[in-house]
Amino acid sequence: MAEASGFSRRKLIAMVGAAAGSAPAYQVMTSLGFAEDSPYRGPIRLDGDPKGASVLVLGAGLAGMTAALELHRAGYTVQILEYNTRAGGRNWSLRGGDTYTELGGATQSCAFDAGLYLNPGPWRIPYHHHGVLDYCRRLGVALEPFIQLNHNAFVHSTAGFGGTPQRIRTVKTDFDGATAELLAKATRKGALDAQVSKEDQEILIEALRSLGGLDKDLAYRAGPDSSEFRGYAHDPGGGLAARPMDGEPMALHDILTSRLWRGLQNFLLYEFQTTMFQPVGGMGRIGEAFARALPPDTIRYGAKVTQIAQDGHGVTVTYQDLGQGGAVRQAQADWCVCALPLTVLSQIPTQVGSKMKAAIDAVPYASSVKVGLQFKRRFWEEDEHIFGGISYTDLPIRQISYPSTGYNAGGKGVLLGAYTWNGPNSYEFTALSPAERVRRAVAYGSQIHPQYRTEFETGIAVAWHRVPFTLGCAGDWTDEARAEHYDNLCALDGRIMLAGEHASYIPAWQEGAILSALDAVTRLHKRVLAA
């Protein structure tokens, strides 16, 4: 966006606001794209009598259960078929005592202590995911802050700074300070004369000095101005020997060539900005709460869908009852909301038109691996003063996330010891046995935290391409595939409507699943009333 255009838009808004009060100004802002309207508009109202219509929902993940809950409240007869023996789908927490068998047959027993867990799937909720947050509030799921940015966590590269992890605080401050100094001095030398007025240049220099930790000479260097941002080599204390010692900033060249700045993007992107949340006790609490909110026996567990058929009167779904030796059964309803992952649905004979079928077949699923590691003590807090947050690294584990709860209480803790997303390492981790994934997560992580070697106790690893109920992590759309197939994927096909994160513009996020389901049942309900 060009400067001039932004300036004139702001000027227009200010004029409207001054002339007519703030409400018209807000409308103008919305129409000009400054104030984004949330796609979530509060609890949906499905007014009108569905006259006993029935809906069969496939999949008891967040999309399926959102659809089922709202349709039930609107007066529909609802049943869900679910492959697993629990509700939630990818909304899932592994706790001590749980066992998990992946594709290929490897079974892991989670040996975490009471209260400790790994969220193999979603693990954090942005403040602007209004749908997830509203359902948590309505279903009584207690939330707590999820720490995305901890200035005292690390960024790490195997090559930069001799492989020594660097504090996010100093890398971010020193990068900002060095670039502020360059820009301030270039401005003072007249390098911006053609673009910026003299008055604005003075304000710009003042802003750079204020925000960049520059001293009165516009220099970013060891001294009280930079220390107030980057911290001290020796913190101020009390009594004798209390005088603070300023630290020497890193050289800009070292920050640039180490590529450590790459990790900082994870704290700037809209999806990761503070405040983020997590459910108290594990992300799985949301799926459990949805299941409790549904009428008893709404969910039929252990049901593997093998065929989806429809005609002018209704939908017939054939499934294997896995709890009864795979006995073949059928379920029927007037309508179907199918919230199965596309990896699964694309393999099920499904009676839909060629456009929807092509869309179902068009979306590959991302590769992702997570490893949870339990340690005898919370050394990251005790030794390194890291309370929550994430360290980023170019090692195959990519990140280490510290628990956002139970601070400063001592005892054991579970780290997220690896979290890959696509790329070669994600496939390579998946191809390893679970035990070897854990072993490598410990070996790699010990390059950042040497305490791993003595404090590690037990771990569990989930590779999403080996998860039996999804065969992949999440819909991995390309722009081209979206342009060709997305609308066809979301359209009502006879009596069948799809829902899930894959049927949203927020793929891989729970918000996408919920918004997709709300949109699907709204359109389905309108169709039912029109019938």
List contacts with another protein (CB under 8 A).
83, 103-104, 158, 162-165, 167, 170, 231, 233-234, 245, 247-248, 304-305, 340-344, 346-348, 360-361, 363-367, 383-385, 394-396, 422-425, 427-432, 436, 439-440, 443-444, 446-451, 463, 465-472, 476
Cβ-contact 368, 425 below 8 angstroms: no
Cβ-based nearer residue to another protein, 173 or 201: 173
| Residue 456: exposure state from Cβ atoms within 10 A (0-12, 13-18, ≥19) | buried
Cβ-based nearer residue to another protein, 276 or 418: 418
Structure tokens at 498: 């799809």
Cβ-based nearer residue to another protein, 38 or 422: 422
Closest by CA position to 282, among listed 65, 62, 166, 125: 125
- Phi then psi for residue 140, to 5 deg, are 75, 30
H/E stretch holding 55 reads strand 54-58
Q: Closest separation between CB of residue 87 and another protein, Å?
A: 15
Cβ-based nearer residue to another protein, 187 or 343: 343
- Phi then psi for residue 266, to 5 deg, are -65, -10
Cβ-contact 260, 251 below 8 angstroms: no
Q: Closest separation between CB of residue 217 and another protein, Å?
A: 20
Q: Closest separation between CB of residue 193 and another protein, Å?
A: 36
Closest by CA position to 180, among listed 223, 210, 225: 210
H/E stretch holding 63 reads helix 62-73
Cβ-based nearer residue to another protein, 12 or 219: 219
- What are the helix and strand counts (H, E) for the chain? 17, 24
Q: Closest separation between CB of residue 331 and another protein, Å?
A: 16
Cβ-based nearer residue to another protein, 129 or 378: 378
Query: What is the number of other CB atoms lying within 10 angstroms of the CB of residue 103?
Result: 13
Q: Closest separation between CB of residue 191 and another protein, Å?
A: 30
- CA–CA dist 226, 176 (Å, integer): 11
Cβ-contact 92, 119 below 8 angstroms: yes
Cβ-based nearer residue to another protein, 137 or 259: 259
- CA–CA dist 352, 420 (Å, integer): 35
Cβ-based nearer residue to another protein, 470 or 516: 470
Cβ-based nearer residue to another protein, 35 or 103: 103
Q: Closest separation between CB of residue 245 and another protein, Å?
A: 8
What is the Cα gyration radius of the chain? 27
- CA–CA dist 84, 80 (Å, integer): 12
Q: Closest separation between CB of residue 456 and another protein, Å?
A: 13
Q: Closest separation between CB of residue 430 and another protein, Å?
A: 4
Respond yes or no on whether the N-terminal peptide bond of residue 99 is cis (omega within 30° of 0).
no
**3-state secondary structure (DSSP) of residue 370:** strand
Cβ-contact 35, 125 below 8 angstroms: no
Alpha carbon of 20 to those of 14, 28, 36, 507, 523: distances in Å?
Answer: 10, 11, 21, 40, 37
Place of tokens 């401050």: 173
458 bridge partner residues: 374
- Phi then psi for residue 420, to 5 deg, are -100, 155
**3-state secondary structure (DSSP) of residue 310:** strand
Cβ-based nearer residue to another protein, 466 or 495: 466
Structure tokens at 487: 């609308």
Cβ-based nearer residue to another protein, 288 or 384: 384
What DSSP state is assigned to residue 414? E
Q: Closest separation between CB of residue 507 and another protein, Å?
A: 14
Q: Closest separation between CB of residue 391 and another protein, Å?
A: 13
Cβ-based nearer residue to another protein, 448 or 490: 448
Cβ-based nearer residue to another protein, 103 or 280: 103
* 515, amino acid identity: L
- CA–CA dist 23, 42 (Å, integer): 20
Q: Closest separation between CB of residue 528 and another protein, Å?
A: 28
Q: Closest separation between CB of residue 502 and another protein, Å?
A: 10
Through-space distance between the first and last CA atoms of the chain, rounded to whole angstroms: 47
CA angle, 303 then 306 then 308, to 5°: 105
Q: Closest separation between CB of residue 450 and another protein, Å?
A: 5
